[in-house]
Chains A and B, each alone.
Chain A
C-alpha cells in the first residue's frame, strides 16, 4: 500500500518535463516576463505573492505607485492602509505596498534564476536541443538575465541594499546575504555588459521581448543616476551618453502622435518603444498594470466607457496642481502631451477624487477610437468584462534616451549645450506638432520639467526628484507634500525606502536602511 501515499497533481509536472521541449522553454520564459506583468498565473484573482491584495500585487502597479504617489505628479484618494503614507512622506518599514514591491521584484529574480539554472549550455545539450532551438534558448537565457538585472536596478533604486540571490541559490530555507547599493551597481553593470552581445540585436526581437537596446537603455538610465547610487562625485555621465547614443542610433524614431503611445493598440507599428510590459484585456488580465493606471485615474462620473473601461473607474489617482502647472498651457491645445480632465486644480480633501485634475494619458482605446474586445462595436459591451486594459506600458522608450543624453550632457558628460537643447526640442516639436514650442536655451531644471511633461505618470518622478535633490527638500514643495496642504519637506533618509520589516525579521543577514 505504501505507494498509495505517493500522490501527484494531475495538471502539473516536474522541471525536467516542463523543459523537455522548445515550447516548454518559451512558456517558461513567458513566466519570467509574466512575473512583472501579471499578479499570478491563474487569473486576475491569483497572485504569486501573499500578504497583499492579489490585484495590487503586480510589479507595475506597485512600482508606479511608489514612484508617483510621493511626488507632485499624483495623489491617491483611497484611504486604504498605507496609501496616504506616500503623499505624507511618512511610510514605515511595515508598509504593505513597499513590502509587496520588494517581494515582487525578488520574486521575478527568483523565477529568472530558475530559468537561468535550467538553460545552461549543459542543460540545453543534455536535453537534446540543437540548431535554432538551442540558439533561441540561449537568447531566452540572456533575456532572463536582463530581467533579473532590471529588477536588481529597481531594488537598488528604491531599497538600496537588498538581499542577493542568483542561479546558484537553492530553493528552501537558505538565508540570502545582503548586498550594498554600490556592489549591486557593479553587479548590474557587469551583468548588462556581459549579456549585451548575447541579446537579439536592437529591434530584431519579437515584440515584448528585450533586445540589446533594452540593455543599453537600462545602462544609460543607471549611469545617469550613478551619483545617487554611488555617492556624489561618482557620476558616469559620459557612459550615460554613450549608451543613450547606442539606443538612439539603433533605428528607433519618435511616434508622431504622442497620445498613441498610451493606447490599447500601442503594440502595433510602434517605432518608439524599446521594451514594453504587455497587457491584453482577454489574454493577460490583471487588476494591476495599465488596468490599474487607467481605472484608478477615472471614476464613474467621467463615463468610463470613454476610456475603454465601461465597467471600471476606481476614482483614485489624479494630479496635484503642480503637474498641470508644469505646462504653460495644460489644455492640451498647444502641448498635446497635456491630457487632463476637469477644472478643479485645488485639493482640500485628499480623499475626494474630484479635487485635482484627472490624468487621462493612458486609455484602453484603439487609435481609431474603438474599444478592444467590444461586442458589435459597442462602447459598453465587451467580452473582457469592461475593466481589463490591453494597453502596453512603455518601460523604455526613445524619448527618455534623448532626455538622458541632454541631462548627462548638461551635468558634464561629453557633448555640448546645443546638442542638449536639440534633444529637448526634438521632443517639444513632436509635442506641439511644430517648432512653436521649442526652447531657446536649456538648463538642468528645464530638463527636469521637460521630463515631467514628457514622462509624467510613467513611473519616473521619484527617481528624477531624488537625482535633482528635490524629493525631500523644503525648497521644492507641492500641495500636500509631507501631508500638509502647502507642502513641507521630509527627512532626507526617505530617498531610500526601508527594507520591509518582515524580511529584517526573517533574514538576520539584513541590516535596515538608515533612518528606519
Chain B
C-alpha cells in the first residue's frame, strides 16, 4: 500500500468585528472536503490535513466570508484565526422614500421592499401580481382571469368609503395618474414586469405624508432596472405557458335537466319536456380554451465610459381562457444614467414605451354559458343567426323571432363579437440631480415627467348576430388620449456634524401634477353602417382635467446614529375644490430609536437588530371623486334624452348637483413598529400596529330632500377607522455550501368600522345601500352604516327547516318583531373583507436546483354568491317565458322555486388558502466556455385553493361573485440566457 501521507492539523478561533466569539462558523479548505465548525467558544480544529499549502475560508451567514492561506506541516498544528466582518448590507440597503433615499437601518416609516429575486414567478402580465402575498397588510387581488385585467391593490384595506382606495403608484419618481386608458383592461398592464427591479410599499403616514393628498391609501414605488457598470450584459428570457381552467361552475348536466323537467311535467301535468333537445353540450367547455402565452424579453445593460445604460424590449402574446380574448403587447424601456463633473451632476433619463393590441372577448358569454340549456346543440342548420342554435318566441320556429328573455347562444356571443383595442403609451422622466461644488451638502433635484397614452378601439357585431338582432348589428368606436405631466424640484441639504453627533437631512420642494384626458365621442351604427338613431353625440369631444399643486418640506435629524426624528409637511392645492377649500395641509412626525446601537444591546450575540419606530401623520384624499363638483353648472343632455314640445325635441339644459363646500378627506395614522433581527439577521422581521382615522370622508350619502339637484351626493360626511397589526418574518433556515433554504411569513389583521355617517351631526346615522347584484332590478346586498364595517352585507336572516336543514323559501326572521317581513328586517351580516391576510413564501436551493412556492390565505371574509342566488331556482330552469334554462346545481339543495336574492343563505364563508405558485428551476451557471449564463425553470400558478366557499373562486374583490372570469391554472416553462 502507499506510504502514509504526512498529515497535520489546523486550529484557530473565529471572532466577530466586536471581538466576540462566533460559534457555528463553517471553516473549510478549498478544493477539499475537509472542514469543521466552531464550538461555543469559537474554536475549531481540522485534523488529517495532508501537508501542503491551502486556502482556508471561514463562512457564516450574515458575515463576509474570509479567506486565508495556510501551510500545513506534520510537525505542529497550524494556527489560523479569523475576525469576520458583519455583513451590514441588508441594513445598509438603500431604501427609496418620497423625494429621496435612506437606508434600511435609518428608515423611520413602515416600509417594505420586495426585489425582483423575491417576485412571484411564472407568467405575470400585470406588475401588481409580482408582490402578491409578499407584504404584510398589502392585499393584491387580481381582477379576473382576463389577460391584462390587472389587480386591485389595498394597503391596510383602504381609508376611504366612496373616494378612491387605490394606493399612489410612483415609477422611478413619476407619480402615475389614477385614470384608466381606453383600449386596455388596466393601465398598469402596460408596464413590463420584466423591467422592474423593486417594489417598495410605504404604509404609514410618516413615510407617505410627503405625498400629502394622494397618500392616504399608501404609496408604492416601482423602481425599474438600471444600467450596471462594465461590459454590456445581454439577458434574454422567454416564458411560454399554457393556462387551463382550474374549475367550472357547478351547473346541471343535460341529463339532469332532462330528468328534472320530466319530473316537473309529471308533477304539474305540463309538457315542458317538448322544449328539450337531445344534445349534451357543456357550454363552459365550449367557451373556454387552453390559452397559450409567450412572453419574451431582451435587455442589454452596461456602461460606456460614464454612461450607464439599459435598453430592453419585451413582447408578450397572451390568449385568454375565454375564447377570442387576446393581448399582444410590445414594450421597450431605455434608461440612461450619466454622471458629470466628478459625479456632482447626475442625470437620469427614463423612457418607457408600449403598444398593446387587445381583442376583448364578450364576457357576456360567461353568464350565457351558465344559463344556456345543455340539451341543445351549439349549431342549428335552420338558424338564420349565423347558424347558432337560439331560442325563438315559438321554440324551433325562427320566423317567430328571437325570444328576448332567453340567453343568447354563448358560442355565438363570443364569435359574433369583434372588439379590438389599440393602446400606445409612453411614460418617462428626466431627473437632474446637482450637488453644489461650493457646498457639497446641498443638492438640487429637478424631475420632469410625462405619461402620454392614446387608446382607441372598435366594436363590431354583424347584422345576423343574435346579440344585436333588433338593430341589425352594431358598429362603434372610441378614442381617448391622456396627457399627464409632472414637474418637481427640490433642494436637499444633508450634513453630518460630528462634534455634536448629529446629522441633518432637510428637503424642501415644489410639485405640479396635471391630468388631462381628451375623449372623442362617436355615434353608433349598425353593421351596414346606418346610424342608430339617438346616438349622435352632442359634443365631439370632452377634455376633463384636474391639477394638483404642492409644496413640501422634510427634516430628518439623527442624533448619535441612534435617535432619528423626522418631520414633514406638505400642502396641496387641488382644482377639484373651491379656492376657499382648495388647500390642504398634511403634516407628519416620526421618531426612530435604534435600540440595537445602545450599549446594553450592542454586544448581544442573539440580537442583531432592534429598532423602534413611532409615527403620526395626516394624509388626504381627493381621487375617485368628480372633477368639478364644487361648481354650479348647467349642462345639455344627450340626444336620446330630449323632451318633446309640439313636433320638436329639445335638449335638456340641466342644473348639476354641486357641493360648494367640498374639501379634502383626511386620514390620521398612528403607527408603532419594531424592526428586529436575530443571529446576525438570519432571522429578521418587523411588527407594526396602526390606527387610522379618516374624517370628512368623501361619502356618497343621501341629502335632505329639496336641498340640491339630486338626492345623493359625494360630500364630506363621516368617519371611518381602520386598525390592525402586521407581522413579517424572514428566516434563513439552512445555509450551507450546497443548501440554502429561506422562508418568509407575513400576517396582517385589520379591523374596519364606519364610526359616523351623519349628515346632520346629531348622531343619527344614515344607511347607504350599496353592492348591486345581478338578478331582478335594483337589488343591493351591502350597506354603509355607522357602527358596522364598510360594505357589510345587509340581508334577511334565512329560516331553515329544523328537520332537513334546508332553507325555507321566503321565510325570514322577523328581526324587529313587528309581525311583517319587510326592509326593516334586514340586518348587517359579516364583511367582504378578510380579517386576516397571510402570505408564505419559501425557496429551497440545493446546488443548482431551486424549488419555491408561495401560499396566500384570507380568513374571515364572506362572499355573496350571486351565481347561486340568480340561477338556482326552478323558475330559472323552467322559465315562464317558454324556454328551458340551465340552473346552478345548488337548486337541488334548496329546491327554491323563486329567487330569494336577499337571503343570507347566499352570503358564504370565502376564507381560503391558495397556493399561488410552485416552481422548480435549474441554474446551469456558466456554460459554453463559461461565457453564457443559463437558467431554466418550470412553474405552476394557481396550484390549488382550499375553501368552504361554494362558488367558482372565493377571491372576488368587493364580495359579490357573479359571472366571474375564472382565474386559470397556468403552467410555465422559462428560459433565461445571459452573456
Contacts and interface: CB of A to CB of B under 8 A. Distances in A.
Nearest to B400: A303
Contact of B635 (A13, A50, A384): A13
Given A31-B653, A81-B902, A13 B704 contact: no
Contact of A114 (B631, B709, B881): B709
Contact of B705 (A26, A102, A207, A354): A102
B18 interface: no
Contact of A12 (B640, B656, B709): B656
B769 A208 contact: no
Contacts of B820: 88, 90
Contact of B546 (A7, A43, A107, A384): A7
A503 B701 CA distance: 11
B708 A110 contact: yes
B634 A90 contact: no
Contact of B645 (A8, A30, A41): A30
B544 interface: yes
B779 A80 contact: yes
A201 B274 CA distance: 62
Nearest to A499: B705
B337 to A, nearest CB: 30
A508 interface: yes
Contact of A503 (B627, B637, B702, B772): B702
B441 interface: no
Of the listed residues A209, A283, A286, the one surrounded by the most CB atoms of chain B closer than 10 A to its CB is: A283
A475 interface: no
Contact of B777 (A55, A91, A175, A312): A55
Interface in B635-674: 635-647, 649-656, 658, 660-661
A299 B640 contact: no
A300 B404 contact: yes
Interface string A482-516: 00000000000000000001110111100000000
B778 interface: yes
A15 B632 contact: yes
A208 B655 contact: no
B709 A107 contact: yes
Contacts of A206: 645-646
A9 B649 contact: no
B823 A85 contact: yes
Given A5-B575, A299-B881, A505 B760 contact: yes
B759 interface: yes
B401 interface: yes
B660 to A, nearest CB: 7
A50 B709 contact: no
Given A7-B575, A43-B640, A208 B646 contact: yes
Of the listed residues B541, B658, B711, the one surrounded by the most CB atoms of chain A closer than 10 A to its CB is: B711
Interface in A302-342: 303-305, 310-313, 315
Interface stretch (B104-112, B153-161, B892-900): B892-900
Given A90-B822, A278-B643, A24 B711 contact: no
Nearest to B577: A5
Of the listed residues A26, A41, A52, A114, the one surrounded by the most CB atoms of chain B closer than 10 A to its CB is: A41
B197 interface: no
Interface string A160-186: 001111000101111110000000000
Nearest to A280: B644
B532 to A, nearest CB: 5
A282 B822 contact: no
A353 B880 contact: yes
Given A5-B573, A107-B711, A114-B655, A506 B703 contact: yes
Interface string A132-156: 0000000000000000000000000
A368 interface: no
B497 interface: no
B539 interface: yes
B637 A41 contact: yes
B705 A40 contact: no
Interface stretch (A251-259, A373-381, A433-441): A373-381
B649 A284 contact: yes
A56 B778 CA distance: 8
A267 interface: yes
A480 to B, nearest CB: 14
A81 B533 contact: no
A183 B707 CA distance: 21
A301 B392 CA distance: 9
Contacts of A96: 769, 778, 823
A48 interface: yes
Contacts of B246: none
Contacts of A303: 393-394, 400-401
Contacts of A48: 654, 709-710
Interface stretch (B143-151, B224-232, B467-475): B467-475
B633 interface: yes
A508 B644 contact: no
Given A28-B634, A42-B641, A114-B655, A175 B707 contact: yes
A9 B706 contact: no
Contacts of B6: none
Contact of A80 (B655, B764, B901): B901
A27 interface: yes
A53 B644 CA distance: 25
Given A49-B710, A78-B776, A163-B705, A27 B640 contact: no
Contacts of A5: 547, 549, 573-575, 579, 582
B285 interface: no
Given A285-B534, A300-B403, A506-B766, A109 B706 contact: yes
Contacts of B377: none
Given A106-B706, A352-B875, A506-B759, A284 B644 contact: yes
Interface in B730-751: none
A383 interface: yes
Interface in A290-305: 299-301, 303-305
Contacts of A52: 778
Given A4-B575, A14-B633, A375-B472, A79 B533 contact: no
Interface in A46-91: 46, 48-53, 55-56, 77-82, 85, 88, 90-91
B582 to A, nearest CB: 6
A95 interface: yes
B346 interface: no
A10 B542 contact: yes
A247 B639 CA distance: 35
Contacts of B923: none
A104 B640 CA distance: 20
Nearest to A209: B645
A11 interface: yes
B766 A30 contact: no
A44 interface: yes
Contacts of B646: 206-208
Interface in A424-455: none
Contact of B469 (A6, A9, A380, A502): A380
A162 B639 CA distance: 34
A249 interface: no
Contacts of A354: 880
B253 interface: no
Given A5-B582, A14-B632, 4 more contacts: A38-B643, A162-B705, A299-B880, A373-B533
Closest 4 CB pairs of A and B: A50-B712, A41-B637, A53-B778, A300-B405
27 contacts: A5-B549, A7-B545, A11-B635, A27-B650, A30-B650, A30-B652, A31-B652, A41-B654, A46-B641, A50-B712, A85-B822, A90-B820, A106-B706, A175-B704, A176-B707, A280-B642, A283-B642, A299-B881, A313-B404, A351-B875, A379-B401, A381-B469, A384-B534, A501-B767, A503-B705, A505-B764, A506-B702
Interface of B: 393-394, 400-406, 469-472, 512, 514, 526, 530-534, 538-539, 541-547, 549, 573-575, 579, 582, 627-628, 631-647, 649-656, 658, 660-661, 700-713, 758-760, 762, 764-769, 772, 776-780, 820-824, 826, 875, 880-883, 897-902
